[in-house]
Amino acid sequence: MIGIVDYGMGNLGSVENACRFLKRDAQVISSPDAVEDCTALILPGVGAFGDCMKNLRQRGFAERLVEWINSGRWLLGICLGLQVLFEESEESPGVSGLGVLPGRVRLFQLPLELKVPQIGWNQVRQVKPDCPLFKGIADETHFYFVHSYYVDPAAEVDTAGTTDFGGAYTSAVWRDGLMAVQFHPEKSHRAGLKMLDNFCAQAEEAVGGRRAGE
């Protein structure tokens, strides 16, 4: 089962509906203990960095998610679910993120002709085309974005995809079983559904292979 983490914020319904359309076994989970029944996790998010971290900590998810990621198990972060993987954000000074990836989240500083937040379709250039998320998806495919802040990884090796909005920034990351994107695959039509299906299928295959080797 793919667990969709419910911490009181996020686009749970659209992610769950997309997984259901793909005929993937995915369920919303509201308890940290429920992660042990999951083969992989999806961490969606819409809203402010500080509120997200407050909710994750109050509901007991923060520590459990760090343990999950550090053990090499699969997790897909979406939008704010990408940003909280980093150490801190200019949106919420003094609030620590999960810190599993080095770097910080920054506010776009752009010319007046570029409106913030970025809302709409934009291309993703595949820096790491071998990333499992990109299987069967053409380079520079368009995905749907809604955000005012972007991640600035301290380790360039973590960047899997970039997008240009007043300059190139990291829009996808990949490290072992940890993958996360700034855009919304669940709102990105055929390409987004393909990306979600890639994650679910390959996470299940990886877990199945690990169990077979035990």
Q: Can you tell me the mean pLDDT for 120-137?
A: 97
Per-residue confidence at 212, pLDDT binned at 50, 70, 90? very low
Mean pLDDT of 95-101: 97
Picking from 27-36, 54-63, 85-94, 200-209, which range would have the lowest pLDDT averaged per residue? 200-209
The CA-based angle 177-141-23, given to 5 degrees, is 55
| Residues labelled catalytic | 79, 184, 186
Average pLDDT of the chain, as a whole number: 94
Given a cut of 70, whether residue 199 has pLDDT beyond it is yes
Q: What is the pLDDT of residues 32-60, one digit of tens each?
A: 999 999 999 999 988 899 999 999 999 99
Model pLDDT, residue 173 = 98
Supply the Cα-derived Rg of the chain in whole angstroms.
16
Average pLDDT over residues 195-205: 93
Indicate which CATH number applies to the domain containing 131: 3.40.50.880
- The per-residue pLDDT for 111 is 87
Indicate if the pLDDT at residue 112 is higher than 80.
yes
Q: Which domain holds residue 81?
A: 2-212
Q: Is the pLDDT of residue 213 over 70?
A: no
Per-residue pLDDT of 173-188, as tens digits, reads 999 999 999 999 999 9
At 157, is the secondary structure helix, strand, or coil? helix
Q: Are strands 26-29 and 2-5 parallel, antiparallel or unpaired?
A: parallel
Span 99-105, average pLDDT: 97
Of 188 and 12, the structure prediction assigns the larger pLDDT to 188
pLDDT score for 71: 94
The backbone torsions φ and ψ at residue 16, rounded to the nearest 5 degrees and listed phi first, read -65, -40
Q: CA 171 → CA 75, 126, 150, distances in Å?
A: 16, 10, 8
**pTM for this model (two decimals):** 0.94
| Closest among 103, 94, 12, 22 to 53, alpha carbons compared | 94
Instruction: Count how many domains the chain has.
Output: 1
- Does residue 143 surpass a pLDDT of 90? yes
Mean pLDDT, rounded, for 119-132: 97
